[in-house]
Amino acid sequence: MAARIAFQGEPGSYSHQACADARPDYEPLPCPTFEDAMEAVRSGAAELGMIAVENSTYGRVQDVYHLLPDSGLHIIDETFVRVHVNLLGLPGTKISDIKSARAMSVLLGQARGFIREHGISTVNWSDNAAAARSVKEEGNPAIGAFASELAGEIFGLDVLARHIEDHKLNTTRFLIMAREPNYERRADKMVTAFMFRVRNIPAALYKAMGGFATNGVNMTKLESYMVDGVFTATQFYADIEGHPEDANVRLALDELRYFTEMVEILGVYPADPRRT
């Protein structure tokens, strides 16, 4: 039996597309939630997890950064998917037949121009691929779905309009996670991802970040969020260029630990060329 890669969503979702593109030799395992996808990896039901973390148009996926520290999993790779929005309908229908279309609110927001131009009413749906499935099941030619071409193939729908997103560089970044870390230097350009929590002292974040500047380490991402229901952003997720064994990275992390309560390496992985 083929190894499995778990993802959040239904067959035909953009996360499914990421699995097919990045790990074509793995069997995709759909899961209702991000927690379920991570649990599938922890339990051994899947070897890898494909987790969406941010979109170039709509920013970060809010739930994920709260789940990463306690997931017990490790980031071993990243991949990117160009999010092409397509209008799907029953076989034989035309764009003019579609009066209402379904998709997740985030995807609907990426095709506002097309929706306005064609006077289509929209309905929020739990999942884009699920919206496509519902169109097939209900069999109403006046109802369409915005989803991937893969969803159209899976559910036997026609692509009535292709690549209708407002922003032509719209891209979603995914992290590939596993039960065991892989700290091998697998490429010339590596990324180290980590969480940290600053100490309760004045200018703690400024001091914690100083080591990266003085040691010439490029920080490509810094995300803050609240923990324990407190309105203070004390916990942070960061990506830096380099490997923990690099001298400048090691010095920067040592300085970071001096000004923090906690530092946890979440993964070390090759930088995907598409991140730049």
Our measurement of the distance from residue 74's CA atom to the centroid of its chain's CA atoms, rounded to an integer in Å, reads 15
* Cβ atoms of residues 40 and 46 within 8 Å: yes
> In whole angstroms, what is the distance from residue 268 CA to residue 246 CA?
12
DSSP three-state, residue 91: coil
Is residue 174 flagged as an active site residue? Answer: yes
* Given the residues 79, 93, 172, 192, the one annotated as active site: 172
Residue found by looking up tokens 């699995």 in the block: 19
Is residue 172 flagged as an active site residue? Answer: yes
Six-digit token string for 63: 């739930």
> In whole angstroms, what is the distance from residue 122 CA to residue 49 CA?
31
* Cβ atoms of residues 237 and 193 within 8 Å: yes
* Given the residues 34, 155, 174, 212, the one annotated as active site: 174
Cα→Cα distances 204→111, 213, 261, Å: 42, 15, 11
> In whole angstroms, what is the distance from residue 244 CA to residue 265 CA?
9
Strands 59-60 and 121-124: unpaired
> In whole angstroms, what is the distance from residue 274 CA to residue 29 CA?
25
Residues carrying an active site annotation: 172, 174
